[in-house]
Chain A
Amino acid sequence: MIELNNITKYYGNFPAVTDISFKIDKGEIVGLLGPNGAGKSTTMKMITGYMPPTSGELSIDNYDIVQQSIEARKKIGYLPETVPLYTDMTVYSYIEFMGKLRGINSKTIKNKVNNVVEICKLGDYRNSLISKLSKGYRQRVGIAQAIIHEPEVLILDEPTIGIDPNQVVETRQLIKNLSGEHTLVLSSHILPEVSTICERVLIINEGEIAASDTIENLSSLVSGTSKIEIDIIGSPQSVQTEIEKIDGVKAIDLWVKKSTNEFTTFSIESDISKDIRSEISKTIINNGWELLRLEAMGMSLEDIFLKITTTE
């Protein structure tokens, strides 16, 4: 659906994006991650046809974004980072205008506007001036204009930035609900957001793709180990010695994370290729300890992100 081949973008002499290539298939939900200034917004601006790349090829559903720009743009719904709105228009007339601009005819426009107003929960504010709305509601109006024409590709640049936590949760839910019908590209530097919404993550750092994979694969790729936590009632010393005997456990990675009067929490790291959970439970039962919790801990996106953007 979206294809970038060797895309480079210079602002004057400054390379914002250098030689990136990736492909996003129909229906995929992809998170574009990266620190501020990494090139996320630039990449999105090129995908949406706002600015042409300095070199390389970019196509949306096989329409070249420069040569067949109008066709390509018809497929796209876009919410820029700044949430641009005509503040002197009402919510309804703004969405209607944007819908018509995207080619919706005047017969169906009314239904479609009502529909997105409902989806984005803007009903109470449909006749309010946009300048009177709070940031969170403006964000929803921004999303509404991006989906009014039911685009095949939905590009959201930092959709939850600058709104209060309650509205963040609602906005995320809204985006998640949308994801079924569209190919969705979302940029963010808020990691939990990406991990809750996206199937695949593209990490951009200093204008280059640093990694591209599912969150699960990325975590194993980065660490090479899997992490297990157990809460256990029993003598910490003997637990330590017994578990170290299990094949695949690296002694150095076995440590007491937390110790209370009732139980001790151990963190165990082992080789990714081996699942040692059954071995651990057997050892525990054989020694007569009491197991309160055994949990495989995936690496958090924060860990992955830091590892990729700082080591490379």
Chain B
Amino acid sequence: MKNIILITLKETKTYYLSPMAYIVGAMFLGLTWLFFNTSIVPGDINPITEANVRGYLDPTTLLFIIFSPLITMRLFSEEEKLGTLELLFTSPVKDIEIVIGKYLASAIILTSTLMCTFFYVLLIYLFSSPDLGPLLSAYLGIILYGIATLGVGLFASSLTGNQIVSAVVGTVLLLLLSFIDSLGAMLEGLPSTVFNEMALNYHFDDFTKGVIDVGNIIYYISIAILFLFFTTLNLQIRRWK
């Protein structure tokens, strides 16, 4: 546990000391602001019908496909490039502790970036009176969605010593995982259900409607755990090579 906290703190600190943090953060907030604007400001095409956050949180999930790998890309790739992985691996720390430590750091970074979007919520509150329930559930959903994508991103980072490659691989994996339900739409019966259930997007809708389904929560957490497991496995395989 001590080791996990140590690694988490170090990674979080390193991230926020790098210019990358602010570039990624600014881009993320800029784009969500755009989504927020178009979703909330009434217009001909998009007449505003209700005071909620669904309109901008829905497209925000798509942002994670690009932003999560950007947050996680350096976590293992950089260690590989600098050779510091050798020091971590020869320190009395379990591989799983390294993985969880780094993962938690990425979760803190993502959550703190998301916190900035509370400003939009504040704006909604100032000019209307939205339902608190769907708002909270949507934010729970988006955080869960985010941490699932971080798991995938971390796994991609453990595959290569090149940060760019890691980010691209992560994005490709996330694209597959997000839109696999469109494959489900083309099929029928059990295969359709399986593909639908596998998709990241498929489980998000309920949250924006104010429905908190335990199954959906378990799904996102399972995806994260599964990919953390893959990451650990991958690190162990690399030792044997």
Contact = CB atoms under 8 A, between A and B. Distances in A.
Interface string B1-42: 001001100100010011000000000000000000000000
Contact of A145 (B7, B10, B87, B94): B87
Given A11-B241, A50-B239, A103 B86 contact: no
A102 B14 contact: no
A52 B239 contact: yes
Contacts of A49: 89-90
Interface of B: 3, 6-7, 10, 14, 17-18, 82-94, 239-241
A100 B87 contact: no
Nearest to B5: A100
B18 A97 contact: no
Contact of B84 (A52, A74, A86, A102): A86
A85 interface: yes
A152 to B, nearest CB: 13
Q: What secondary structure prevails in chain A residues at the interface with B?
A: loop
Contact of A97 (B10, B82, B83, B241): B10
A65 to B, nearest CB: 10
Contacts of A89: 14
A98 interface: yes
Q: What secondary structure prevails in chain B residues at the interface with A?
A: helix
B76 to A, nearest CB: 13
B92 A84 contact: no
A282 B71 CA distance: 82
Interface in A1-38: 11
Contact of B92 (A11, A52, A73, A82): A73
Contacts of B85: 84
A80 B89 CA distance: 12
Contact of A87 (B82, B94, B241): B82
Given A50-B239, A88-B14, A102 B91 contact: yes
B82 A76 contact: no
Given A82-B83, A84-B86, A70 B94 contact: yes
A74 B82 contact: no
Given A11-B241, A51-B240, A98-B87, A86 B82 contact: yes
A56 to B, nearest CB: 14
B86 A73 contact: no
Nearest to A145: B87
Contact of B90 (A52, A73, A82, A83): A73
A73 B114 CA distance: 39
With a 10 A CB-CB cut-off, give which of A51, A71, A76, A145 has the most chain B CB atoms. A51
Interface string A53-85: 000000000000000001101101010101111
Given A83-B83, A86-B84, 10 more contacts: A49-B90, A51-B239, A51-B240, A76-B90, A78-B86, A82-B86, A84-B82, A84-B83, A88-B17, A101-B3
B113 to A, nearest CB: 20
A50 B86 contact: yes
11 contacts: A70-B92, A78-B86, A78-B90, A84-B83, A84-B86, A85-B82, A88-B14, A98-B87, A101-B93, A102-B91, A145-B87
